[in-house]
Chain A
Amino acid sequence: MSISLIILFPLVGAILNGSLALFQATKKHKVPESLVSLIGVLLPFLSFGVALKLGIPFLQGREEPLEQSLFSWITAGNFHVEAAFMLDRISVVMSLIVTGVGSLIHLYSTSYMKGEEGFARYFTYLNLFLTFMLLLVLGDNLLLLFVGWEGVGLCSYLLIGFWFDDPAKAYAGKKAFIVNRIGDFGFLIGIFLILSVLLPGVSSPTSILKFSYLSEHVSLLTPMAFLITLFLFIGATGKSAQIPLYVWLPDAMAGPTPVSALIHAATMVTAGIYMVVRLHFLYDLAPQTLHIIAVVGTVTALWAGLIALTQNDIKKVLAYSTVSQLGYMFLGLGVGAYSAGLFHVLTHAFFKALLFLGAGSVIHALSGEQDIQKMGGIRKKIPITFFTFFVATLAIAGIPPLAGFFSKDEILWQAFHHGHKVLWLLGFMTAGLTSFYMFRLVSLTFFGKSRLSHEAEHHLHESPWPMSSVLIILAILSAVAGFLGVPHALGGENWIQQWLHLEAGVHEAHGEVLSLERNLAILSAGWAALNGFFAMLIYLRFPAFPQKVRQSMRALYQLLWNKFYVDEIYDWLFVRPIRWISQVVLARGIDQGLIDGGMVNGSSRVVSGLGGVISVLQSGLANSYALYFLVGLVGFIIFLVVF
């Protein structure tokens, strides 16, 4: 059993379902949804099975990575790239998240997308996404990672614009793709910089971009480490939605909800974190970049958390909370706590997927309603959805002993411990915000009096088993995943940190440090609970209070409601100037003026002008032709005589 099977299964699924989708589109013959579902769900589960089988030895303590080389992909001079896969502890975690959560979301989708026009097309994209994501986490060199990186961007674009006949949704897809491409440009420059340093130093074809080669020769990269890591991080800000490139993620909610859960919450957006963790030996050489990462992560976390406070679309709130949580992960990476960052990726994958799928279940139950101001009081009607959503809320808010508490607190503690007190304080405040807006969401959605329209009330129903069973599984995982990383201060062993052993020289803390860590953990748990309690109190007991706050702080509320006007600012700074340049300079000036007018029409005008001059000579009179004869002859003789 080899690694490539993990990638092969979803690829086969994508090809089969793609053929079915094409068949349906060309022959106008409906393909049964059960067949599409079977292919689309079975193959990811098989892939998960393989990943689990190969991953278990690593979980039991295997150290050396598993490698498989398929063929040599590129050889140009001394530059060599192998199409090869590698499974080590980092990619075991990632591939289990991708295939595990991915398979569950596929199962959920069979029910959520039922009766959809592009049912087969949807599963094609979803399987293709898994293929590329697995390529990203299993590739053993930077170039293969980049192929996966671009591939998931493509699938994200296709799925955001899944309902492409709605122009707004097609626009959201384009926006995501273009913003991601800006980041990818930085990523490419990072790769080129690595090549420019390492390529002159080799004398025979070498797999320079292979991770193991990079880590062995990392000392050569030291002088350029700051620039390389910075450019690679720009790539990460695009894919993982950090300031300044986060703007695409909230708009990505235009896609079907399971897509938001899979791509824009659980897996694809963690690609940037995976990349940094994968290249942690390189980032260790560039403390300035790490500092930038930590600051960007913290500011993004706070920024998105503030925006999430005022949003009314259930998916938008979750989208901003995703941006915010990704900020936490980068904070963890930035202070050098790579395993804490990866641990938060793991727990976040569970509870954020659960939140999105729960939101999908709510939307499904309410016949498409997404505005939380028009919900309320539905917890008794859809108990499974409510219960699982509530578990996920507790998890993300950081209420012990659910998963989010341990991973988030580990990051905050590491920030504090490494001396970044300001960042810790901002992160701590964001934790309170997280709790507040999540409990606001739960209160408005599930508690209180019903504000449903009569129509929606009538159709209210619990989701069918493929959806609810997935919610239950993810709820269990969200509840218990935190126990993988219980810190020493709380009597655990921090198993995941030990197992990943990414950080150089983790010291066994003891005495005062341990008690400080314990106190901080208790403090942040209390802080989260307090904020959650206040949110519920305000929105359930005093529903008029938010209204008053809104009126008394009108300017601030407007600022948050309009997402700090970032979209508008970008529109003014970048979109409009580029559009102006495109229309006036490039289209009208260069294309219509220079190319059409000057080169295409101009050359024909020159030819026809010259023809007009010469055609005067073509009189049709034989006598004059004889004269030209003479002129030519005389000219020829002169030529012979003179030269």
Chain B
Amino acid sequence: MKKLVIAICSILVVCLGLGLAAQKLEGNSSSSGNKNLIIYNWGDYIDPKLIKKFEKQTGYHVIYETFDSNEAMYTKIKQGGTGYDIAVPSDYMISKMRKANLLEKINTKKIPNFKYIGSQFLGKSFDPKNEYSIPYFWGTLGIVYNDKYVKQGSIKHWDDLWKKNYRHNILLVDSARDIMGLSLASMGASMNTKDSLKLKMAKTKLDGLGPNVKAIISDELKMYMIQNEAAIGVTWSGEARTMLDSNSHLHYVVPPEGSNLWFDNIVIPKTAKNKKAAYAFINFMLEPHNAAQNAEYIGYATPNIKAQALLPKEIRDDKQFYPSQQAMKNLQVYQDLGPKKVQEYNDLFLEFKMYGR
């Protein structure tokens, strides 16, 4: 009996020690929880050096958590019990979260660096008055191909993906709206369609793509494309930028018949526990030098005009990544289609995945 009691006590002591050590490592030993800033962001979507710099400048401790789809992020926040101070959803998800009353209003007057944001990135349909969100990055959806396996210039349109010779050679990004969207765009339909019949047709068409699809993955797509694992990848512009920088055989195409134009904006979820830190962080990220550094690291296009001017010329003028006003006409911004329709997109996409090869 005595031995058991001693054993129990020693385990408890070890636990206490472990807990304290872990807390020290996490750096939040300074008791008052208000020194923490919990960021919920896409994987690899900020220059880690900037987080370090922010921590040094402000004394806040940043906890950085990642998600890999808007839907997964929404689920976690909606489910409650989370205390994220900052999240970075995309356009349609912002209006969905706004409607679900998950977002805190943002007072842009308290963010001095807000003035650097270009006016063409403000007042978008998902947040007309910019009350809830601050633009972070924007970009397109397109096709990356490797000229080792695919003749240069032979891929221009979405329909080219369906060609027989790319069997088991395409990597798709794991995102319902984007993959359903590319199928819709290839049929000439709107990427925001609410027409169930068109959606069904798009899904059936996707099933035909099945044999060509090697994998449906998220962040690791970048690594696989760089390592020549597959010939073709469907992904977002910024991811493509990083890939192109590391592998000269890769090329990025935005199909002219239509593709997605998206905006990722910073929001403050209702669950935020440290709004002061959130404001400080937003302002920090909008500071032109920081924004430019971030844009160079991530490779996505920044909405920060002042930061854009700070970028090297060859990045600024690259039409694939900073498309002209003309090219942007064919690009569509996703709208929030309401929970019912979104569910339909998600379920159809999952059925496509289940359908197999």
Q: Is chain B a partner of chain A in the same complex?
A: no
